[in-house]
């Protein structure tokens, strides 16, 4: 806390300084209530473009727009005091040129109040990362399985096996050299993620990577078990809220159809009940 007792928000340099230290805790958030619950537990809260699949029912992240990211970013910002807030740059908003990336990243920062943006790509995005950082926009990088390139990969496949490992290592190193303050490693072999973590000077944040990474990130709805049928190997489910919600909705529907709800305690009479007099205690 500051001298005035206010909570000091974490910054990109704070995250960078955690390299090799206590692992960084990161989750996605898309709404104010969820961000508020996470804030005291997480170091980084990511407004991920996974919102397109999680909340909007899209088949992939490719249909997510800048306006969608700004809307959810504003909502998450209202729930955060301490954690570092990072917003994903959606597909098509940064790949054309560093100048395009800056225009859209500047809009994300200005309109959401986020502290940093995240973009996908390694060597191919190094010049863009360098351009943004030089102009005051901190960047979290993302290599390995990059969901916005799912069509090029032919699906959500593990990246970096065998001879392909060198490509992922080069990508991660390129983002660090370009000035990213951290890099997400998604769906890469354990040993490769550990090697990258040893070799580069910025924190690695794993998702389907390695416990040796400098931190971990998950999509919160996956971690909470909100989806009863979606069970990726790299997700540990810390709750089964989807099953609990389904049971609660079914119970409500049954009570309504059988006229058990609303009951007398949920209804209002013609006259308010008199308050009990307050005697001495």
Summarize the annotated binding site for 3-methyl-2-oxobutanoate as residue ranges: 49-50, 88, 118
- DSSP collapsed to 3 states, 5-74: CCCCCCCHHHHHCCCCCCCEEEEECCCHHHHHHHCCCCCEEEECCCHHHHCCCCCCHHHCCHHHHHHHHH
Is-contact 94 101, C-beta < 8 A?
A: yes
Q: Which residues are catalytic?
A: 186
Residues at the binding site for Mg(2+) are 49, 88, 120
The pair of three-digit structure tokens given for residue 156, joined into one six-digit string: 């959500």
Buried b (16+ CB within 10 A) or exposed e, 74-107: bbbbebbebbbbbbbbbbebbbeebeebbebbee
Q: Are 180 and 139 in contact (CB under 8 A)?
A: yes
- Which residues does the annotation place in the binding site? 49-50, 88, 118, 120
């Amino acid at each position: 806390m500051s001298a005035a007792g206010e909570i000091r928000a974490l910054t990109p340099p704070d995250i960078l300084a955690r390299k090799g230290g206590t692992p960084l805790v990161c989750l996605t958030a898309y709404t104010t209530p969820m961000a508020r619950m996470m804030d005291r537990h997480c170091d980084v809260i990511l407004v991920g473009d996974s919102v397109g699949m999680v909340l909007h029912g899209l088949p992939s992240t490719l249909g997510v727009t800048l306006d969608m990211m700004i809307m959810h970013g504003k909502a998450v910002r209202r729930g955060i005091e301490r954690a570092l807030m990072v917003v994903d740059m959606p597909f098509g908003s940064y790949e054309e040129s560093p100048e395009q990336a800056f225009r859209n990243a500047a809009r994300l920062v200005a309109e959401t109040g986020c502290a940093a943006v995240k973009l996908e790509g390694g060597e191919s995005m190094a010049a863009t990362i360098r351009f943004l950082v030089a102009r005051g926009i901190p960047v979290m990088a993302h290599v390995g399985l990059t969901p916005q390139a799912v069509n090029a990969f032919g699906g959500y496949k593990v990246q970096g096996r065998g001879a392909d490992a060198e490509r992922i290592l080069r990508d991660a190193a390129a983002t660090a050299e370009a000035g990213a303050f951290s890099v997400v490693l998604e769906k890469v072999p354990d040993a490769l993620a550990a090697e990258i973590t040893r070799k580069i000077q910025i924190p690695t944040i794993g998702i389907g990577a390695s416990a040796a990474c400098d931190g971990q990130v998950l999509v919160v709805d996956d971690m909470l078990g909100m989806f009863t049928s979606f069970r990726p190997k790299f997700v540990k489910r810390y709750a089964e809220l989807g099953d609990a919600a389904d049971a609660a909705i079914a119970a409500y529907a049954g009570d309504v159809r059988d006229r058990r709800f609303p009951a007398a305690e949920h209804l209002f009479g013609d006259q308010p009940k008199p308050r009990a007099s307050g005697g001495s205690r």
